[in-house]
Structure 1
C-alpha cells in the first residue's frame, strides 16, 4: 500500500495517508468551491497528522457536522471531516506531494444541493455502483 505525504503551504501542518489514489471528488458547496479543493476520502486507520495539530484552526457552519481544518499561519485547508461521513477524513489532494490531478478520475458532488446529492451518493454506494 502506498503512503502519501502532504502539508499546508508553510509546512507547519503535515500529514500522511495510505492508499491508492485513483479517484477523487470535487464538491461545489459554498466552502469547497471557494477553496478549490479536490478531495480523497480515507479513514482513521489510514490517516495520520504528523505535525502541527496546535497550528490547526477549526471552522464549522450550517449543521456544524463537518469539521474544516486550516493552518492558522498560512490559511491552507489540507483536510476535513466531511458532513456526509464525519468519522472519515477527506484530504485535499492539492496539498499532497506528487499527486497529478490530471491523471485522476474526478467525480463531481453537487454540494450546492447537498441533501439530494448526499442521498444519491449514499444510495449508489449501498447498491455497489460507486
Structure 2
C-alpha cells in the first residue's frame, strides 16, 4: 500500500453486500451527478479502478438494473435495496462506489465536483 493510500470499507444497509476499496489519492474527488437515478438516490460517486476494489461478500445478493443505453450496470442488494456500488457508463474501467455507503470512521477528506448527468455527453467530455 502506498503512503498516501487508504483502505475503506462499506456495503449495503442490511450488511449482505460488503466491499473494500483502496483509495490512492490523498483527497479523492467525488462526482455529484444530477441524472434521474443519482438525484433520486443521493448517490455520491467515488471512482475506484477495478483492481483496487474487492467485493468481500454478497455477490449472490446483488441484482442488476439497466436503463437508457443499458451500458451502466446498477447493482442493488436484493434484500434491502441499497446500491452501494455499480459499473458506471462514464468509467468502464472502474466501479463507482457510493461515498454514503462507506462505513463510519473512514477518515477520507474529499472534494465534490458537480457532474451534469442530465447532459451526459457534454459532462463526460469534461471529465
Q: Which runs of 4+ in 1 moved over 3 A?
A: none
Could you tell me how far 1:73 is from its partner in structure 2?
0.4
Could you tell me how far 1:104 is from its partner in structure 2?
2.4
For structure 1, which runs of at least 5 residues remain unmatched after alignment? Answer: 122-130
Instruction: Verify: 1:84 aligned to 2:90, yes or no.
Output: yes
Q: How does 1:88-103 map to 2 (within 5 A)?
A: 88-97=94-103, 98-99=105-106, 103=109
When normalised by structure 2's length, the TM-score is 0.88
Q: Match for 1:5 among 3, 9, 34?
A: 9
Report the counterpart of residue 126 of structure 2 in structure 1: 120
SS of aligned partner of 2:112: strand
For structure 2, which runs of at least 5 residues remain unmatched after alignment? Answer: none
Q: Tell me the C-alpha RMSD between the 2 structures.
A: 1.5
Report the counterpart of residue 14 of structure 1 in structure 2: 18
Structure-1 separation of matches of 2:19 and 2:26: 15
SS of aligned partner of 2:81: coil
When normalised by structure 1's length, the TM-score is 0.86
- Structure with more of its chain in helix, by fraction: 1
Number of aligned residues:
120
Contact 1:3/1:18 (8 A) holds in 2: yes
